[in-house]
Amino acid sequence: MIISELYGTIRPRYPEFKDRVALVTGSSMGIGKGIALRLAREGMQIIIHGREQDEVSKTVAELQSLGVRVQGFCSDFAEPDGVDRLFDAVRAHHDGLYLLVNNAADLRRTHIDEVSISMLDNQMHVNVRAQFLCCMQAVPMMRPQKTGAIINISSVGGQRAHWRGLPYDVTKGALEAMTRAMSLELARDGIRVNAVAPGAIRSSKTPPPNHETVIEREERIPMGRIGSALEVGAVVAFLASDDASYITGQVLNVDGGITAQLSPPGQPI
């Protein structure tokens, strides 16, 4: 489904979002793009971020065609100044920020014997250090307003290890610990910090629904299907809304029941 058709399927629910500024890192594609699309439908001003200028420009153009107020900035969080360059650009256009969604991540997973030092360093840099620095830069833009939300995109692997899940699962566990610690630090400033942990979510790399790999995976999911980026976006929107005004320091799983399951159907322990 093309983005204009997806946009039309979303029912706005949070009028308090209108004209507020939201930065979604890693939002030129995948889950981040779905989150940005949902927030755009709620009337927010959207800041798209990604590593590749072509992808950023394409997503910005798609949203602009829908009448969304949107800007796009390109930076690589693997570079030492990647976060600084992003926020320098953001501050050049906006005095304040209401919502930061820390979605950008290195998604690679492998076995322990196949983890290189460079892979470990890159994931710690992109998945933990950069998220922390984004928070550090965003908080001064939220404090004057005495309100704001930070939502970190984790993974079910932060709580229940993937088979072949290193070093990715390590970084997501750290991100969830950071979520709890920051929520306590920022509560009195009116800034809430939560995390969303997606399970199996369809992406551009996911085979068609009738593909054998997809069918096998869906058989192991209690709800019997792979989720969508818009379903993750819906949870992000809720956690950033006034309806979630008393929720902070929490991790909300969006996984079709995966983390509640001890063993898949037909494979009892």
pLDDT at 1 over 70: no
Predicted local distance difference test score (pLDDT) of residue 114: 97
Cβ(177)–Cβ(152) below 8 Å: no
CA distance 220 to 85: 42
Catalytic site residue 246? Answer: no
76-128 pLDDT per residue, tens: 999 999 999 999 999 999 999 999 999 999 999 999 999 999 999 999 999 99
pLDDT at 178 over 60: yes
- 0.85 exceeded by the pTM? yes
Q: What's the token pair of residue 214?
A: 């997809």
Q: What's the token pair of residue 74?
A: 């390109």
32: enclosing H helix or E strand:
helix 30-41
- The Cβ of residue 146 has, within 10 Å, a number of other Cβ atoms equal to 10
CA distance 52 to 134: 19
State mean pLDDT over 188-214: 93
Tell me the CA distances in angstroms from 163 to 86, 110, 111, 183, 220, one per residue in order.
34, 8, 8, 30, 14
* Domains of the chain, CATH where assigned: 3-257 (3.40.50.720)
Predicted local distance difference test score (pLDDT) of residue 264: 86
Q: What is the DSSP letter of 151?
A: E
Predicted local distance difference test score (pLDDT) of residue 269: 86
Catalytic residue selected from 7, 14, 98, 168: 168
> Which among 77, 18, 26, 30 is positioned nearest to 47, based on CA atoms?
26
86: enclosing H helix or E strand:
helix 82-93
Cβ(47)–Cβ(21) below 8 Å: yes
State mean pLDDT over 226-240: 98
pLDDT at 189 over 90: yes
28-49 pLDDT per residue, tens: 999 999 999 999 999 999 999 9
Furthest-apart CA atoms within the chain: distance in Å: 56
For residue 2, what pLDDT band results from cuts at 50, 70 and 90?
A: confident
132-162 pLDDT per residue, tens: 999 999 999 999 999 999 999 999 999 999 9
Predicted local distance difference test score (pLDDT) of residue 266: 84
